[in-house]
Structure 1
Amino acid sequence: MPTVSVIIPTYNRAKPLQRTLDSVLAQTHEDLEAIVVDDASSDETASVMESYDDPRVTFIEHETNKGGSAARNTGIEHATGEYMAFLDSDDEWLPRKLERQVDLLERRSDEWVAAYCGVEMVSESEPGAIRKLATHLFSRRAVTEGKEGGEELVREVLSDDLHTSAGSTLIVRSDVVEAIDGFDESFARFQDSEFLIRVLQQGKLAYVNAPLVRRHESGNPSASDLEVADQHYLQTFSETVSDLEAQGYDVIGAHRYMLGKAFIGEGNLVRGARYLVRGRRPRPRQYPGLAATLFSGVQRRLG
């Protein structure tokens, strides 16, 4: 039985998949299995996987497209490790990612059931000069340390204040994953946050203070799709949201701000502004992103 089962769901990502899987097989923690679940791709994914002759690699194919959550659950069903780690098929790990996370959890008490780590964002295209200038003028450079804890972190996740990039950073004890029945397949978006909230209800989340994951930007869902998914997300945790709002946490305002940015970024300035005026006031660290989004939205509108 390997220490870690790495679950990689994929769909039509034959080109980046090789980079992703190679980063798993290059881990300094070698006691692992990599389970790649192809969610009925129509590209060369199967051909890419045929090039791997490593007993640690398992390749599973869905006959029909079922979605990312279902693909992860298929991987969970076949996992045999003490821990399960999740990785999106266009991201990659630095070599010591699993070593440092496993070591951290092994040194903690049993109440620490999961760990995440820092992330380095990788842009596939060079930002324009105006966007660079907006970021420079509005940003306040500050080091934000990752947060650790238990169920109290649920409010941070729901309030959009804790971004763990769980789909590529998270490692969880397998018994916990089984106890919460894996991923909720009704979620097309926010599945990582929804999953993490239920993990936090089982135990504590640890943090490795190092950027051990390289996340590659691969596009965003449409604002309308995000709006529908966000309603489902908030409805799922409606009781918790109501309790947090009663305690003074502006959860709904944070989500309005997020949706406002999404619509503005698409050039739908009026609809975006309606969300923003009812949303939570942006924090200083959010100014650069808001400025860049506004510039991008105006460009689209004028174009």
Structure 2
Amino acid sequence: MPDQASPLPHSVCVVIPMYNSADSIEQTLASLAGQTRLPDHVIVIDDGSTDDGPQRVKDFAAPFRLTLLHQANEGQASARNHGLRHTEETFVAFLDADDTWYPQKLEQQLALYDELNRQGRPVGLIDCYVLNDYGDGRRQVEKRRKNGWHFYDFIHANVVNGVSSVLARRDVIMQLGGFDASLRYSEDRFMWARVAEHWEIHTVPQVLLQRRVNSGNITSQPTKYYPQKIRFIEVYLARYGEQLSKQQRIDFVLGNHTDFLNLFSRRAEHAQVIGVYRRMLEYSWQTLIFANGKPTLRYLYACARSLRKTTASTTAH
């Protein structure tokens, strides 16, 4: 499936899904206008916004071609696909409407691609390090570095540092049919895994993106997103289950459930912890020892807290 990349010069289109992002979209677009290598085309897809974000896009004085598209609210995967259908550039970069790029983001990624291309490497995607800026003031750098074939790494985690960090060959994304619009969560991980199945993934080892992590993130709404995680597990296994070993399938399923078990545990949502753990145990007995037994300890703690709460309630009555 890999083929040799097109020769220079390159062109770049940035695809931005937007939903009620009036408070951030201008800053996001400004970070594109400040690039040392300007994008050739920027497409903003209004995903059914009810605020004045679309008008702010129309009013933005862009030093690049700027296109605004509209659709009913169908989620980020659908919005990105809508934008992709209007691209024709060599590369496509993805950017969320509340994230911002550092000035050399595109320049550095294109330079790395050119160097790897000269070496004959079948590169499909390049990301960069990411600074996560949390609403409570915390900051954390995502710096997973990739330098080749990484398909099996996606069994354990999404090893791409963030959607907004990605610069990908357009022909690669289009050949794969874009994002799976049936997914409302982890659609990016599934997309990058599909890229990694046939092409190399590389990283510019510099922080070139600042990502805002707000109240809509899964950390604050795990109950909303957990059913979507289950859907992702089903879709991933339907596509790749047969080519994974039994142990790889177990690691994939238990690892994805554990992500949410940990979130529920930190939020003291004990009934949810118990429910996730039992779902894991139904899949494999290895749940008992998975991740050095930490999910089991969290489950036992949740059971104890739930029992204590039930006992206290019974005593009070």
Scaled by the length of structure 1, the TM-score of the pair is 0.80
CA distance in 2, matches of 1:14, 1:144: 29
In 2, distance between residues paired with 1:145 and 1:259? 21
Quick check: 1:185 aligned with 2:185? Answer: no
Is the 1:6–1:84 contact (alpha carbons within 8 Å) kept by the matching residues of 2? Answer: yes
Q: Distance in 1 between matches of 2:85 and 2:236?
A: 26
Is structure 2 residue 228 aligned with structure 1 residue 217? no
Partner Cα separation in structure 2 for residue 243 and residue 3 of structure 1: 36
1:58 is displaced (CA, Å) by: 2.3
Q: Partners in 2 of 1:11 and 1:232 — Cα distance? A: 23
Quick check: 1:226 aligned with 2:225? Answer: yes
Aligned-residue offset at 1:271: 2.6
Distance 1:154 1:238, change over 3 A: same
TM-superposition CA deviations, 1:2-61 (whole Å, max 9, x none): 611000110001111111111111111125211111112110112211322336242323
RMSD: 3.2
Inter-CA distance 43–145: structure 2 relative to 1 (3 Å threshold): closer
Q: Deviations over 1:168-224 (max 9, x none)?
A: 011111111110111111111111101111111231111111111111012324333
Pairing of 1:143-158 with structure 2 (within 5 A): 145-150=144-149, 153-158=150-155
Match of 1:168 in 2: 164
Partners of 1:156 and 1:18 in 2: CA distance: 36
Partner-residue secondary structure (3-state), 1:250: helix
Cα deviation, residue 238, structure 1: 1.3
Task: Choose which of 71, 75, 87 in structure 1 pairs with 2:79.
Answer: 71
Amino acid at match of 1:238: L
CA deviations over 1:229-251 (Å, ceiling 9, x no partner): 12221111215346545245722
For residue 155 of structure 1, give the secondary structure of its aligned residue in structure 2.
Answer: helix
Unaligned runs of 5+ in 2: 1-8, 282-286, 310-317
Instruction: Kindly report which structure 2 residues correspond to 1:1-303, keeping only aligned pairs within 5 A, or say none.
Output: 3-54=11-62, 56-108=64-116, 109-126=120-137, 145-150=144-149, 153-160=150-157, 162-219=158-215, 220-221=217-218, 222-238=221-237, 240-241=240-241, 243-247=243-247, 250-273=251-274, 275=276, 279=287, 281-282=290-291
Name whichever of 6-15 and 235-244 sits farther off: 235-244
Larger Rg belongs to: 2
Separation in structure 2 between the aligned mates of residue 143 and residue 227 of structure 1, nearest angstrom: 23
**Higher relative CO (CA 8 A, sep ≥ 6), structure 1 or 2?**
1
